[in-house]
A = this chain, B = another copy of it.
Amino acid sequence: MTWKNDLAAVASDMLPRCGEGRVADYIPALARVDAKKFGIAGIDSDGVTAGAGDYRDPFSIQSVSKVFGLTLALLAHGDELWRRVWREPSGTSFNSIVQLETNNGIPRNPFVNAGALVVTDVLVSKFGRDGAISEILSFVRAVTDNPAIEMDAEVAQSEADTGHRNAGLAHVMKGFGNIENPVDDVLHVYFHQCAIALCCADLARAGLYLSCGGTDPVNGRRIVPTLMARRINALMLTCGHYDAAGDFAFKVGLPGKSGVGGGILAIVPNRLSLGVWSPGLNEYGNSLVGSLALEAFVRRTGVAIF
């Protein structure tokens, strides 16, 4: 169980850097988070868990939720989804509209905001507005094995109040015919999905199916086919960190997905699922200390995929 020791050592090494980076402040609920928080947790394919720091504190997972939305949409819609969203790194920031116009309303990938809105639209078409929210919440409760998981209503409302850019993206795609449902419904579901609150332990647990070929090894349940799990991992590697995806692959070398709340889910295929959290963001909107912690963990353990 050497990785557990490594996790603790990494947490200890990160202490002097906690508080670095810039906490997202576009909504009050994010702005008031303590910048010095840091947590990291992992779970291996035998179900062994470990955590360090503030790994039991819930935080807003924000864009990390796109991984779960994508999983549900692929289960609901299959490869048809890829007619409405590409699978290429964007070369631009998370909320860019430039690319949408050039590509006739087809987003570059499901992990930029525009792509996640299309994914959400697929869920609304399948389950309805309120049904989509229920499905997402049920899915996250199932993969975390934690029925207490909730969406933070205040966060969802704040997102809606300030989400002009996302509204703009959705309307533009609607203009291109790539959003089927009313824009307000899609945004409603999207903002609720982003408002899911998890702690690092829950987050690591939630990603376990991606590190175990699509199956949850704790209870033996198959969540997605093996090939789908691999492909989601591939997308996380190439597209999971906006226009810093290449840098994250270079330095950390693991599939990962970050959120503006400071969380990152990282997957070591066939080995581990890791959740890390530290609210301060780097210039690309990814957790600064969280990224450093993952880089340090990979160096210590040598769990590289490359």
Contact = CB atoms under 8 A, between A and B. Distances in A.
Contacts of A244: 88
A147 to B, nearest CB: 30
Contact of A234 (B87, B253, B269): B253
A164 B174 contact: yes
Contact of A237 (B88, B171, B238): B238
Which of A100, A183, A246: most chain B CB closer than 10 A? Answer: A246
Interface string A97-121: 1111110000011000000000000
A233 interface: yes
Interface in A167-199: 167-175, 183
B171 A175 contact: no
A124 interface: no
A127 interface: no
Contacts of A249: 234-235, 237-238
**Dominant SS among interface residues on chain A:** helix
Contacts of A234: 249-250, 253, 306
A86 interface: yes
A243 B169 CA distance: 23
A40 to B, nearest CB: 22
A112 to B, nearest CB: 11
A233 B246 CA distance: 11
Which of A164, A183, A239: most chain B CB closer than 10 A? Answer: A164
Given A88-B89, A96-B101, A305-B269, A238 B245 contact: yes
A243 B96 CA distance: 17
27 contacts: A87-B246, A87-B247, A89-B238, A97-B98, A97-B100, A97-B101, A98-B98, A109-B246, A164-B172, A165-B171, A167-B167, A168-B168, A168-B169, A168-B171, A168-B173, A169-B172, A172-B172, A229-B306, A233-B306, A234-B249, A234-B306, A235-B246, A237-B237, A238-B238, A238-B250, A269-B304, A305-B306
